[in-house]
Amino acid sequence: MIKANDPSLKSWIEVEKDSDFPIQNLPFGVFKTNEEDARVGSRIGNKVIDLNALYVLGYLENLPFKATDFKTDALNPMMKKGKAATRDLRNRLSKLFNTENDDLSSNKHHVDQVLIDVNQIEMLMPVQVGDYTDFYSSEGHATNVGTLFRDPDNALLPNWKWIPVGYHGRASSIIPSLQEIKRPKGQQKPNDDQDPVFGPCKLLDFELEMAFVTYDGKPLGENISTDEAKDYIFGMCIMNDWSARDIQKWEYVPLGPFLAKSFASSISPWIVTMDALEPFKTKGPKQDPEVLPYLAYKEDAHYDIDLEVGIIPENSEETTVCKSNYKYMYWNMSQQLAHHTVNGCNVRCGDMMASGTISGEDKSSFGSMLELTWRGSKPIKMKDGSERKFINDKDTVVMRGHCQANGVRIGFGEVVTKVLPAD
Amino acid sequence: MIKANDPSLKSWIEVEKDSDFPIQNLPFGVFKTNEEDARVGSRIGNKVIDLNALYVLGYLENLPFKATDFKTDALNPMMKKGKAATRDLRNRLSKLFNTENDDLSSNKHHVDQVLIDVNQIEMLMPVQVGDYTDFYSSEGHATNVGTLFRDPDNALLPNWKWIPVGYHGRASSIIPSLQEIKRPKGQQKPNDDQDPVFGPCKLLDFELEMAFVTYDGKPLGENISTDEAKDYIFGMCIMNDWSARDIQKWEYVPLGPFLAKSFASSISPWIVTMDALEPFKTKGPKQDPEVLPYLAYKEDAHYDIDLEVGIIPENSEETTVCKSNYKYMYWNMSQQLAHHTVNGCNVRCGDMMASGTISGEDKSSFGSMLELTWRGSKPIKMKDGSERKFINDKDTVVMRGHCQANGVRIGFGEVVTKVLPAD
């Protein structure tokens, strides 16, 4: 077991019972305060740990980092040091904040410089994303979409169980939680026998996804096998891959989704490391037909992560509209990364790869309004009495995720996004 | 007229008659030598101009640049300064290297530091590409592909004349001329009634494209109009958007091309500025049906650029297989950029947007082997007597492009790529 994951560890920082951030988590992110620019941080309970301050005070000595790895606006320089280095860093944090170690806790002056209340900081984009890839790896979602838009009797396309289908997404518009988005405008074709029209999207949707972030991969022309994949994955976050269904329907043939997705993808700002998620590995579904050898895998590479989505109408309370789990994926991250690189495509530090919408078998586990309301035919009742077919202006969409086992809860926090009206 | 474009200008650097790089061009690129790391350069004739040396020697004073804008491995820092700054820089170069100015030419010691023979340098990737977008804007190409793969009577899909169709491509695998590529491996399904197989691509193809590079755009949520587009485009290069046709056919439904394209896209290493291309603007085709208002444009935004593709079998001579022109585009760059941002998608300094394969009406102008050999049914004869349906191992593909008017030839140089066998 990775030492920092030991369920018996306790921190001298107070951690509430249902916190996503016990000492066993130690995620990484980028934050700023009113006084100071962007820095790298971690988190325990409701305290943000300023890694730049820790570094300057000498608590990170004998680790292969330098000041500019932490006093910066992205995790990339830190991640560039590779898996062994970031693992050692997490272990160091685990040691420093453990009740049994008073190197830091005994120095109140230092503690004041290192810990900041979570209410006093703003979380920024954690990574500079080189390329963003979106997979389509949930059988439930692919089946629902195929049933809704094509043929219920042949909902999955012939390639779906052979290939972890994916496409290139837009990296520039990935934004952190709490950044508001504007309803996008674009071409739609509401009537088959009329010309297309231009205007604000009418069918704005969320997509519940998880995304992983990579270390530097191999050079162009080399591939990463399923066995090697875990060495190239740094950690994960939740992603709301916003979708404009009406724009998508008109534009996506033959080259795939484009403007229907590129206006925004919102992520939870703490990257939870694969090391922290290690205890929550679980078996994936039986894959039938048997996959081609380059997609076969030995080690479990699915993860048991509870997910939920809520909608908060303006000035109202939240209604939970979906409860799902990341373990419902048909294709796992090792297979996704092996497939992505099998043609020699190079992966770089900070690349982000998302799961695609995560939908289970049960209707309450569908990961988009498209599926939950069955294309608007079954509106969802909000607690305030209003109904939703898709997302309204001024609605706020919240996604949360966490794992739990052996008394330890490792969570991702939230991704919270308010939708503003189109200009 | 932009002063630096004056056809009467002559440089004190020797320029051969058919050079792509007279003093009216002054493209930008990144190069290195055996002795020194990456730097920003320009070019006249067969001399590379070391902009870092020019800066250090004081010849770029009163321009808004600093040393790190030129002593770096990408044009991005320089481009970050915006259009007015890069235009002033090009004008300064035009003045310094003009026969009528001896500020630099009279100082042999300085000239030796600033000019390097083109044979003594290696050209690198000119820009750090944030996001790469590939359009599909040639009517000839879209018609050919639709005829080959779908329905000759309805070759263009219903959205094609309404939307400048495009998709997100892979930025990490964009490489400069002279970098060799390996034949990619991947899943193919040669027989409809048999399972897919894995192995080296059998139908490796080039795609003749032009790409443009952007300045920083507007913030997320704002759009760039067709009128504004020219202020956000820095320059252009030639792109060979390598394609694996057999991988593409099996993977691309429903989310578009992925591994069939992401193994490599090769570009010519000099970015020719839009300012240098200004005299070669030309009228585009009549667009019928009339486009939606956000895609309407006033100023000509098509360019008359002659293009050609050659294949060089190993140890043999080149056979020209295609002669085309960039003016054959249905959708121009202003429309592409306006469409790309109309949903609020943000564009960043260094983003690259390619045209899609450029095919004219005439068969000799088709921009891919798929079209030239009509899916392999009409092989092309090489000068050495061999035949090509697609690209063979050890073949080298060369693309060239230039404009010509009023006795001035502005060219892009070449993008040259040799194909190595799969591992």
Following DSSP, what letter does each residue of A110-137 receive, concatenated? HHHHHEEEGGG-EE--SS--S-EEEE--
Distance from CA of A411 to the nearest CA of B (A): 29
| Chain A contact for B405 (CB, 8 A cutoff) | no
Residue B1 in this model has a pLDDT that exceeds 80? no
Residue-wise pLDDT for B217-271, tens only, equals: 999 999 999 999 999 999 999 999 999 999 999 999 999 999 999 999 999 999 9
Question: Residues near A191 by Cβ (< 8 Å), separated by ≥ 6?
Answer: none
A345/B173 touch (CB, cutoff 8 Å), yes or no = yes
A256/B254 touch (CB, cutoff 8 Å), yes or no = yes
Angle at B83 between CA B80 and CA B87, to 5 degrees: 115
Per the residue annotation, which of B109, B110, B141, B402 is the catalytic one?
B141
Residue A152 in this model has a pLDDT that exceeds 80? yes
Chain B residues touching residue A184 (CB < 8 angstroms): 343-344
Work out the pLDDT band at A72, boundaries 50, 70, 90: very high
A157/B253 touch (CB, cutoff 8 Å), yes or no = yes
**Pair B379, B373: CB distance under 8 Å:** yes
DSSP H helical ranges for B83-138:
83-96, 108-114
Residue A323 in this model has a pLDDT that exceeds 80? yes
Place of tokens 């292969």: A64
Outline where DSSP puts E strands in A11-103: 29-32, 39-44, 47-50
A vs B, Cβ pairs < 8 A, gives 183
B343/A162 touch (CB, cutoff 8 Å), yes or no = no
Facing residues of A44 across strands?
A47
Q: How many CA atoms lie within 13 A of B136 on its CB side?
A: 26
| Chain A contact for B258 (CB, 8 A cutoff) | yes
Nearest CA in chain A to B169: A168
Chain A residues touching residue B253 (CB < 8 angstroms): 157, 159
| Mean pLDDT, residues A84-107 | 98
| Mean pLDDT, residues B144-172 | 95
A159/B251 touch (CB, cutoff 8 Å), yes or no = yes
Distance in angstroms (rounded) separating the CA atoms of residues B82 and B20? 25
Distance from CA of B100 to the nearest CA of A (A): 45
State the pLDDT at residue B149: 84
| Chain A contact for B168 (CB, 8 A cutoff) | yes
Nearest CA in chain A to B338: A186
A259/B340 touch (CB, cutoff 8 Å), yes or no = yes
Residue B2 in this model has a pLDDT that exceeds 90? no
Residue-wise pLDDT for B53-94, tens only, equals: 999 999 999 999 999 999 999 999 999 999 999 999 999 999
The token duo for B383 is 């000068």
Chain B residues touching residue A288 (CB < 8 angstroms): none
Q: Which of A125, A255, A331, A353 would best serve as a mutation to test chain B binding (most B beta carbons within 10 A)?
A: A255
| Chain B contact for A1 (CB, 8 A cutoff) | no
C-alpha distance from residue A67 to each of A55, A125, A157, A401 (Å): 7, 20, 50, 32
Mean pLDDT, chain A, rounded, equals 97
A181/B257 touch (CB, cutoff 8 Å), yes or no = no
B170/A172 touch (CB, cutoff 8 Å), yes or no = no
The interface residues of chain A toward chain B in range 348-377, judged by CB-CB distance below 8 A, are 348, 351
Nearest alpha carbon to residue A366 among A307, A318, A413, A317: A307
Work out the pLDDT band at B293, boundaries 50, 70, 90: very high
A247/B162 touch (CB, cutoff 8 Å), yes or no = no
Residue A149 in this model has a pLDDT that exceeds 90? no
Residue A150 in this model has a pLDDT that exceeds 90? no
Q: Which residues of B are annotated as a binding site for Mg(2+)?
A: 241, 261, 265
Q: Which of B182, B343, B351 sits opposite A344 (nearest CB)?
A: B182
The token duo for A73 is 């606006």
Q: Which residues of A are annotated as a binding site for substrate?
A: 136, 150, 248, 252, 357
The interface residues of chain B toward chain A in range 272-291, judged by CB-CB distance below 8 A, are 289
B55 in helix, strand or coil? helix
The interface residues of chain A toward chain B in range 184-213, judged by CB-CB distance below 8 A, are 184-187, 189, 195-198
Q: How many C-beta neighbours within 10 Å does residue A136 have?
A: 22
Distance in angstroms (rounded) separating the CA atoms of residues A343 and A139? 24
Q: Which of B143, B168, B249 would best serve as a mutation to test chain A binding (most A beta carbons within 10 A)?
A: B168
A187/B262 touch (CB, cutoff 8 Å), yes or no = no
Residue-wise pLDDT for A239-266, tens only, equals: 999 999 999 999 999 999 999 999 999 9
| Mean pLDDT, residues A398-416 | 97
Say what the alpha-carbon torsion angle B230, B231, B234, B235 is, to the nearest 10 degrees: 10
Q: Which of B171, B223, B343 sits opposite A262 (nearest CB)?
A: B343
Q: How many C-beta neighbours within 10 Å does residue A178 have?
A: 15
Q: Which of A258, A335, A346, A393 would best serve as a mutation to test chain B binding (most B beta carbons within 10 A)?
A: A258
B165/A345 touch (CB, cutoff 8 Å), yes or no = no
Work out the pLDDT band at B377, boundaries 50, 70, 90: very high
Rounded to the nearest angstrom, the gap between the alpha carbon of residue A129 and the centroid of all alpha carbons in its chain is 13
The interface residues of chain A toward chain B in range 61-90, judged by CB-CB distance below 8 A, are none
**Pair A22, A409: CB distance under 8 Å:** yes
Residue-wise pLDDT for B172-222, tens only, equals: 999 999 999 999 999 999 999 999 999 999 999 999 999 999 999 999 999
| Mean pLDDT, residues A232-237 | 98
Residue-wise pLDDT for B36-56, tens only, equals: 999 999 999 999 999 999 999
| Chain A contact for B172 (CB, 8 A cutoff) | yes
**Pair B408, B7: CB distance under 8 Å:** yes
Nearest CA in chain A to B128: A130
Distance in angstroms (rounded) separating the CA atoms of residues A90 and A28? 9
Distance from CA of A412 to the nearest CA of B (A): 25
CA A276, A7, A416, B219 torsion-angle sign: negative
The interface residues of chain B toward chain A in range 236-255, judged by CB-CB distance below 8 A, are 244, 247, 250-255
Work out the pLDDT band at B95, boundaries 50, 70, 90: very high
| Chain B contact for A171 (CB, 8 A cutoff) | yes
Nearest alpha carbon to residue B328 among B374, B284, B378, B391: B284
Ordered by where they begin, the domains of chain A are 3-123 (2.30.30.230), 132-420 (3.90.850.10)
- Strands B281-282 and B272-273 come out as unpaired
A263/B344 touch (CB, cutoff 8 Å), yes or no = yes
Chain A residues touching residue B138 (CB < 8 angstroms): none
Nearest CA in chain B to A155: B254
State the pLDDT at residue A95: 98
Distance from CA of A258 to the nearest CA of B (A): 6
| Mean pLDDT, residues A364-374 | 98
B342/A254 touch (CB, cutoff 8 Å), yes or no = no
What size, in residues, is chain B?
423
Chain B residues touching residue A173 (CB < 8 angstroms): 220, 344-346
B141 is catalytic: yes
B167/A340 touch (CB, cutoff 8 Å), yes or no = no
Chain B residues touching residue A130 (CB < 8 angstroms): 171-172
- Does the structure's ipTM exceed the value 0.95? yes
